């Protein structure tokens, strides 16, 4: 088995023009792999710590210290190791850091190494990354591209002070092949742009490339989406469903959830009724972070009321953290979990959370971050762990499209693998 010969990191920029880390690894058989780390904008308080330099350079957001931690502290420890020993290498870095939130070396430094090691292992055994992940962790018996959740309209911290809810999504029906799903998303994205232009509504795009229209209320978004669906000749609830990423902590102020839909804000109980209303009116199937993390009573209430027919998704609530995920499972706060490796900082810890969620019959959503790069690691990872959904943003902008293009390639490879070769087919000609 090939061994790690060298490891080197550098500072690069993410899709927001904010620094992040790229790591390159050399194997002693001549193989070379590289990876770069996505970073978030709406960062939950339970996430592992990204190490930033502070000071004036790069607005204080530089990662030169984290890069130095890779090159000077971690790299000498991994040279000579077998890249397939993911758990051993990840644990070594956790111990080198010595904190419970990776604030010493930085979760960004540690994940850059953890991620590039996994890429190197797949290269060393000569298998696609998604196949290597499947075989190593045995989290799925069947390789397929997960259902996609496409964010077409953004508000909150991803928008332009236009809407309170962070993301409005379409979710193509599960019977569609991935190429058909992507075709639908592209069609609706451009239909929506035409509708916004015709209505003389802003069609500028936000942080992740989705539209940020200036509307009177959050529910107005669904009327636009319904119009786009009808114009494109799709049928709601048959061909697709709607979803939201509320990111409710961002609009919780002074004891109430403040949406422009109601002048004096919503109580937690009123938010439960608001979500039930839009579920019934607009067939919203997917509710991500519907309440702030501490509002466990209303998480439970929403689960009791609509959890049997709807995805109630935890992101900031669980933060890809094993302890917080177990608590959410025990208290029945959700039925689906968002998985973001940079929330916890190593691939091994990410896998542990996925295993726990799957053992509780929760579904999984493998997600991008708002600060993306052109790295497509997360696409292979989602397929390899058997995720139920992927959430990579709109079919727009290079850092998002890189993931979709990779999924198209994986989709084609899997179809080819399932197609019998002509030499193995019986001759039915007469």
Cα–Cα distance for residue pair 342/51, rounded to 1 Å: 12
Domain identity same for 302 and 179? yes
Provide the pLDDT for residue 42.
67
DSSP letter at 125 equals: H
User: Does some domain include residue 140?
Assistant: no
User: Does some domain include residue 131?
Assistant: no
Q: Could you say which of 65, 95, 126 is where a domain stops? A: 126
Provide the pLDDT for residue 430.
31
| Cα of 150 vs its chain's centroid, Å | 11
Domain identity same for 227 and 356? yes
User: Does some domain include residue 137?
Assistant: no
For the domain that residue 203 is a member of, what is the CATH number?
Answer: 3.20.20.120
Decide: 401 and 407 in contact? Cβ < 8 Å. Answer: no
Provide the domain limits for residue 115. 4-126
For the domain that residue 26 is a member of, what is the CATH number?
Answer: 3.30.390.10
User: Does some domain include residue 135?
Assistant: no
Provide the pLDDT for residue 1.
84
User: Does some domain include residue 113?
Assistant: yes
- How many beta carbons lie within 10 A of that of residue 360, not counting itself? 14
What's the predicted TM-score (pTM) here?
Answer: 0.94
Phi and psi for 227 in degrees, rounded to 5? -60, -45
Domain identity same for 363 and 265? yes
Provide the pLDDT for residue 429.
35
| Cα of 117 vs its chain's centroid, Å | 20
Q: Could you say which of 126, 160, 178 is where a domain stops? A: 126
Domain identity same for 39 and 163? no
Domain identity same for 262 and 305? yes
pLDDT along the chain (430 residues), means of 10: 96 96 98 95 83 97 98 98 98 97 97 98 98 98 97 81 89 97 98 95 86 88 96 96 95 93 91 97 96 97 97 97 98 98 96 98 95 96 98 95 98 89 46
Strand partners, 26: 6, 32
Domain identity same for 200 and 111? no
Provide the pLDDT for residue 160.
63
- How many beta carbons lie within 10 A of that of residue 91, not counting itself? 14
Domain identity same for 153 and 47? no
Cα–Cα distance for residue pair 121/184, rounded to 1 Å: 35
User: Does some domain include residue 249?
Assistant: yes
Going by DSSP bridges, is the β-strand pair 336-339/311-314 parallel, antiparallel, or unpaired?
parallel
Structure tokens at 10: 């550098």
Provide the pLDDT for residue 355.
98
User: Does some domain include residue 136?
Assistant: no
Domain identity same for 111 and 161? no
Strand partners, 167: 154, 245
Domain identity same for 319 and 184? yes
User: Does some domain include residue 233?
Assistant: yes
Domain identity same for 177 and 323? yes
Phi and psi for 98 in degrees, rounded to 5? 75, 10
Number of domains making up the chain: 2
- How many beta carbons lie within 10 A of that of residue 136, not counting itself? 17
Q: Could you say which of 126, 157, 175 is where a domain stops? A: 126
Domain identity same for 178 and 100? no
Structure tokens at 422: 């002509």
Domain identity same for 175 and 114? no
């Amino acid at each position: 088995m090939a061994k790690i010969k060298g490891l080197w990191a550098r500072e690069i920029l993410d899709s927001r023009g904010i620094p992040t880390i790229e790591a390159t690894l050399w194997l002693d058989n001549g193989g070379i792999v590289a990876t770069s780390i996505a970073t978030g904008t709406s960062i939950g308080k339970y996430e592992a710590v990204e190490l930033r330099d502070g000071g004036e350079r790069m607005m204080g957001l530089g990662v030169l210290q984290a890069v130095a931690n890779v090159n000077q502290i971690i790299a000498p420890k991994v040279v000579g190791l077998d890249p397939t020993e993911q758990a051993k290498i990840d644990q070594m870095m956790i111990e080198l850091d010595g904190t419970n939130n990776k604030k010493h070396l930085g979760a960004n430094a540690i994940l850059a190494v953890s991620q590039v090691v996994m890429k190197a292992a797949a290269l060393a055994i000569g298998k696609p990354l998604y196949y290597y992940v499947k075989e190593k962790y045995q989290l799925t018996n069947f390789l397929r591209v997960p259902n996609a959740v496409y964010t077409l309209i953004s508000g909150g911290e991803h928008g332009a002070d236009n809407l309170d809810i962070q993301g409005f999504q379409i979710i193509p029906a599960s019977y569609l092949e991935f190429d058909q799903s992507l075709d639908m998303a592209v069609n609706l994205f451009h239909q929506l742009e035409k509708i916004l232009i015709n209505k003389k509504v802003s069609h500028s795009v936000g942080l992740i490339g989705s539209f940020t229209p200036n509307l009177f209320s959050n529910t107005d978004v669904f009327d636009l989406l319904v119009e786009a669906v009808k114009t494109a000749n799709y049928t709601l609830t048959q061909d697709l469903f709607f979803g939201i990423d509320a990111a409710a902590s961002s609009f919780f102020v002074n004891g109430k959830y403040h949406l422009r839909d109601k002048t004096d804000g919503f109580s937690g109980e009123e938010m439960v009724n608001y979500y039930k209303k839009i579920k019934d009116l607009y067939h919203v199937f997917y509710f991500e972070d519907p309440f702030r993390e501490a509002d466990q009573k209303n998480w439970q209430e929403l689960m009791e009321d609509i959890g049997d027919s709807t995805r109630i998704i935890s992101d900031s609530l669980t933060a890809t953290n094993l302890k917080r995920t177990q608590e959410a499972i025990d208290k029945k706060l959700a039925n689906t979990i968002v998985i973001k490796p940079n929330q916890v900082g190593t691939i091994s810890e990410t896998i542990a959370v996925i295993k726990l969620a799957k053992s509780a019959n929760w579904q999984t959503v493998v997600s991008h971050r708002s600060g993306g790069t052109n790295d497509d690691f997360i696409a292979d990872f989602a397929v390899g762990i058997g995720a139920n959904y992927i959430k990579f943003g709109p079919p727009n902008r290079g850092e998002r499209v890189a993931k979709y293009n990779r999924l198209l390639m994986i989709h084609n490879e899997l179809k080819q693998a399932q197609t019998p070769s002509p030499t193995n087919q019986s001759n039915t000609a007469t």
